[in-house]
């Protein structure tokens, strides 16, 4: 298990925690979940941009790009 896998597992576990009935904790949990969602979207967007740059740098054809994406 890599550090990245451990971190993802921890984040997933934290996301599923029930904040309880403390209003402040509930509010903070909601804020953090929203922040995590925004970060996830930013990471996905940045990964797409990086992939496009790499595909362009290696002058891959659309067929080759599809092969890379499918793994």
Mean pLDDT, the chain, rounded, equals: 87
- What's the pLDDT score for residue 1? 62
- What's the pLDDT score for residue 25? 82
pLDDT at 4 over 80: no
Quote the pTM value: 0.64
- Longest Cα–Cα distance of the chain, Å, equals 55
pLDDT at 56 over 90: yes
Distance CA 35, CA 41 (A): 10
Mean pLDDT in residue range 33-40: 89
Token readout for 26 is 């509930």
């Amino acid at each position: 298990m890599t550090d990245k896998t451990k971190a993802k597992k921890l984040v997933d576990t934290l996301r599923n925690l029930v904040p309880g009935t403390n209003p402040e904790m509930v509010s903070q949990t909601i804020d953090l979940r929203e922040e995590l969602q925004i970060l996830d979207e930013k990471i996905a967007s940045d990964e797409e941009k990086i992939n496009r740059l790499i595909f362009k740098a290696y002058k891959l054809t659309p067929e080759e790009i599809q092969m890379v994406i499918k793994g």
